[in-house]
Structure formats: C-alpha cells, structure tokens
Chain A
C-alpha cells in the first residue's frame, strides 16, 4: 500500500510540474497543430478527389457503384503494397476513411519523436542537478521511476486520444458513409493502438533517462527504435517493450549512484 501511495504522490507531483512547466504544454500544442495541419492537407486532397468522382458520376461519365468499387480496390492495392497482405485486415482497413488512415499513420511516425522530446529527461533531468536526492531519501527508487513513467504516460495518452478523436471527427465529417457506430469502434481501436505504441517508447525513454546523467545524452539515445515490433503481434510486443524497458530502467536506477 505504501508503494502505491508513493507512486500516486510522485505521479501527482509530476503531472503538476509538467503542466506548470512550459515544455510539455508547448509540445502538446505543437503536436495537436501538426495533427490538425495533416488533417487539413490530407482532408482537402481527399475532399477534392471525392468531388471529382461525384462530378464524374453526376455527369454520367462513370457508374457510381463501379467508381466506389474501384476506389476500394485502389485503396486495398495501396495498403497491400505498403502495409499488409492479410485479407481480413485489408478489408477492415480499406473500409476506414483514407484521411483517417493516412493521418493516423503520420501520427504514429511522429509520436515517438514527440514522446522522446517530452520525456527524455524524466530521470536524468533530476540526476544531473542532483534534485533526485530530495526524493530518494523519502521514497523508493522504483516508486520514482514508475510514478514518473505513469505521469508521462498519462500526458502522452491524453494527447494521443485527443488527436485520435480529432482525426475520427474530421473523417466522419468528410465521409458520409463512415457511420457513427464505425467511427466509435475505429476511434477506440486507434486509441488503444496509439497508447500501447506510446508506452513502449515511454519505457525506452525511461531506460535512456535512467542510465544517463546528462539529459541531452538521454535525448540522443531515445532515437533508438524497437525494430522487432514489426515482426510480432504489435500490441503485445509494444506492451512487452514497455515493461522490458521499464524493468531495465528499474534495474539501472536501483543499483546506481545518484
């Protein structure tokens, strides 16, 4: 119980500090702006393409059903070329509005960078100036690590969920055939994917931050990428990575001089 209380206090303190400090807020705003910009660009291209098809259908140049089927086939071909050969997955992905898929993919590309910038100094930033010494005489090192990790996870998850909601809402507005029910299901799935994905990078960030003294070094180390994730069941692997990196971070912090 004492451990949980310690973790809760560290989590609360870190959330408060992050919200008071400028960096996290600036990063949150920048990432939201980036998502909004990507949505605007991809959404307007998508909107133009849809308008052209609608005009062609209205002019009687193209059969509407054939155009729709061709669009789905084109999307499947694009997805099978770049992402997966799994037919069931292809069907599910091709039913998703293109704008949502593309922006989501962009978000996944840039999320690790955002996470690295947000959390690179979560531990090292306290070891360098030795302010961690005020904490280690009061709480366990594991509580510090987990509390800080959870605070970063809370902030990152909050932002990623917000971005996903924004993406789904825009996709819903741009695609009349994207039903509210589908939007909720897809939105939930994407949220889970992004949060689990983010946890792995947060774990890696914790590890980098726990083994270095200078926060700059931990930022550089954060560009490392958990490659094997591509070959295994993504969600479990990323969760595994999160726990693995967090475990390593704990081992490193537990036995190091501060």
Chain B
C-alpha cells in the first residue's frame, strides 16, 4: 500500500509551548486512520498542519506527495471538516456549498452541492441561512462541504462531537462508505467509534507520538483474546499447554480468562476454538469471547 500521507519529525511550537513534538507516522492510501489522544495531546494541531492551516516549526508533511502549505497544492484533492470552524452565517446553505464547490474547481458546482447535501440527509436546508441552523445540522453541512467532489483524501476533526446518536450513526456510515476509495483521517475522542471505523491509528499524548500501528496491533487482536467466565473452575494449566498459547491468566476475580498467543504461529480462530472447546469439556460456563483489548483500555494504558 503506497502512502497517502507521510509525516516525519513533525513539531509545532506556539511560543514556548510545544504542541507537537517530533511526530512521525504514515497513512496508507485508502486507509481510515484515527488520531487519538487526551485533550491537549496535539491531535488538532497535527490535523491542522496536515490540512495546511498551520505551518510546522520542524519536520515535514507530504499529502499525496505534496507539501500542504504550498499555495494551491491540494486544490480539489482534499476535503476537510475543521473542528471549530463556523460556517459564514449570512449565506444560504445551498449558495454556500455551490460557492465552495466552485472554488474547488468542480465542473458542476450546484449539482455537487445538492448531492453532498443529500448525502448528509439535509436537502431541505438548501435555502436556509447557515447561521440559522442547529449545531448538529451545521456539522452535517460542514461534513457535506468536505465530501463534495469525492476528494481522494478526507480529514475529519471530531466528526460526531455534539451529534445525537442517530445522526452520529449516520455520519459513521458516511465515513464507512468513504473507506476504500478515499484516504480518511479522523481525529476523535470517541474511541469506540475509532475502533469500529479505523484500519490504523496514532496515539498522541502531550504532543508526542506514543504508538502508531494497525488497529489489530493496537488492540492485540492477533495476539490476545478474552473469555468471560460465568461459572466453573478454569483449567489454567491445560489452557497454557495448548499449542500456540504464550500465557493464560485470570483477571477480575477469576471471571475473565486472558490468553496471549503467538499470532505468527497460530490462527486466532484456531486457538480460540480449542480454548473454548477445552473449557466446555471441563464444564466451565462461558458468557462471551472477545478478541484483543478494547482500544480504550490500550489508550488508557499508554497515556
């Protein structure tokens, strides 16, 4: 997979404050990539540098092979949903989207604007002034402008923040639809959402990159699974003796069996089936089986 975005040694200072410190990661073409971290971790600053809003103090960024701060370098190639950018209040939504489509150099600006509004399920807001819309509607209109022209790279900063669950689910569905034909970078606090959507992720903390990798690596899906036990004594030694098993431990008052295995030597479905079979054979009652850790656990562990 070739790289759509390459970030090397990226740093950003605001006076004495170091917002981003020597961050390096790569986003593959067609990937959905998550930027994760607590408040003040440098997610939005990194995001803003990728979009060309902020100039890096040090390091380099290449988006589709070009420096995003170069004038006009990414015209029509990226769609951006900035976090706190306010839509110009006086513009009717349709006119605003048509204007932005025209600025992007799209061949049929009005058609693009109408299609984008339909994608975010807001065609009825065509004549509504942007300043008269609710937060959720404004967010979806902002999302619509980012999707116009089907850009190869889409940056979404907190796309579902402040949205009700139904609308948030619709936005997540939109992001799912982008996967494969667009490279998507999503910055969010909603780890469950990122775990569900993203192929890869970078965890930032206090401006530094803590870890970057695929979601499977992050959550240990290829090396770990958990079995929630309802009743019965777990034959721990027998589990440890299973081929491919590295370690087996009991957590949470012996109600969770955590098994680490050699992901190179054994397929997850193979060892999970054998472990569950052994437990059932020993009359251990099981509530659920899950692969890896929750992303949230990993992030809490790292930050």
Interface residues of A (CB under 8 A from B): 2, 5-6, 9-10, 13, 16-17, 20-21, 126, 129-131, 133-142, 254-258
Complex Cα distance, B48 from A144, in Å, reads 19
Contacting pair B52 A136 (CB below 8 A): yes
Which of B99-107, B173-181, B280-288 is found at the contact surface with chain A? B99-107
Complex Cα distance, B96 from A9, in Å, reads 12
CB distance from A193 to the nearest CB of B (A): 33
Nearest 5 Cβ contacts at the A-B interface: A129-B86, A130-B85, A140-B71, A138-B103, A257-B54
Interface-centre pick from A10, A21, A126, A139 (highest chain B CB count, 10 A): A139
Contacting pair A131 B87 (CB below 8 A): yes
Knowing that A5-B105, A137-B79, A258-B54 touch, tell me 4 more A-B residue pairs with CB under 8 angstroms. A6-B103, A16-B95, A20-B90, A129-B85
Contacting pair A137 B99 (CB below 8 A): no
Task: Confirm or deny: B74 has a beta carbon within 8 angstroms of a beta carbon on chain A.
Answer: yes
Q: Which of B39-95 contact A (CB under 8 A)?
A: 48, 51-55, 71-72, 74-76, 78-80, 82, 84-88, 90-91, 95
Contacting pair B103 A9 (CB below 8 A): yes
Complex Cα distance, B51 from A131, in Å, reads 14
Given A17-B91, A133-B80, A139 and B54 touching (CB < 8 A)? no
CB distance from B17 to the nearest CB of A (A): 13
Chain B residues contacting A2 (CB-CB under 8 Å) are: 72, 75, 105
Contacting pair B53 A141 (CB below 8 A): no
Contacting pair B72 A130 (CB below 8 A): no
- Selected A-B contacts with CB under 8 Å, 9 pairs: A2-B72, A2-B105, A17-B88, A20-B90, A129-B85, A137-B75, A137-B78, A254-B71, A257-B54
Task: Confirm or deny: B200 has a beta carbon within 8 angstroms of a beta carbon on chain A.
Answer: no
Report how many A-B pairs have Cβ atoms within 8 Å.
Answer: 73
Interface-centre pick from A21, A140, A258 (highest chain B CB count, 10 A): A258
Contacting pair B71 A134 (CB below 8 A): no
The answer, among A10, A131, A142, for a CB contact under 8 Å with B85, is A131
Contacting pair B103 A257 (CB below 8 A): no
Complex Cα distance, B85 from A134, in Å, reads 8
The answer, among B54, B90, B91, B103, for a CB contact under 8 Å with A10, is B103
Contacting pair B55 A255 (CB below 8 A): yes
Contacting pair B103 A135 (CB below 8 A): yes
Task: Confirm or deny: B145 has a beta carbon within 8 angstroms of a beta carbon on chain A.
Answer: yes
| Chain B interface main SS type | loop
Contacting pair B84 A138 (CB below 8 A): no
Contacting pair B71 A133 (CB below 8 A): no
Complex Cα distance, B88 from A20, in Å, reads 12
Contacting pair B71 A142 (CB below 8 A): yes
The answer, among B74, B90, B105, for a CB contact under 8 Å with A137, is B74
Q: Which residue of A lies closest to B78 (CB)?
A: A137
CB distance from A136 to the nearest CB of B (A): 7
| Chain A interface main SS type | helix
Chain A residues contacting B104 (CB-CB under 8 Å) are: 138
Chain A residues contacting B103 (CB-CB under 8 Å) are: 6, 9-10, 13, 135, 138-139
Complex Cα distance, B103 from A131, in Å, reads 14
Contacting pair A9 B99 (CB below 8 A): yes
Contacting pair B52 A137 (CB below 8 A): yes
Q: Which residue of A lies closest to B83 (CB)?
A: A130
Contacting pair B72 A140 (CB below 8 A): yes
CB distance from A169 to the nearest CB of B (A): 34
Given A13-B99, A137-B74, A131 and B88 touching (CB < 8 A)? yes
Contacting pair A134 B100 (CB below 8 A): yes
Complex Cα distance, B48 from A126, in Å, reads 16
Interface-centre pick from B54, B76, B79, B105 (highest chain A CB count, 10 A): B105
Contacting pair A133 B100 (CB below 8 A): no
Complex Cα distance, B55 from A205, in Å, reads 25
Contacting pair A133 B87 (CB below 8 A): no
Chain B residues contacting A142 (CB-CB under 8 Å) are: 71
Contacting pair A141 B85 (CB below 8 A): no
Contacting pair A138 B86 (CB below 8 A): no
Q: Which residue of A lies closest to B68 (CB)?
A: A137
Contacting pair B55 A257 (CB below 8 A): yes
Contacting pair B85 A137 (CB below 8 A): no
Q: Which residue of A lies closest to B92 (CB)?
A: A20
Contacting pair B51 A133 (CB below 8 A): yes
Complex Cα distance, B104 from A158, in Å, reads 29
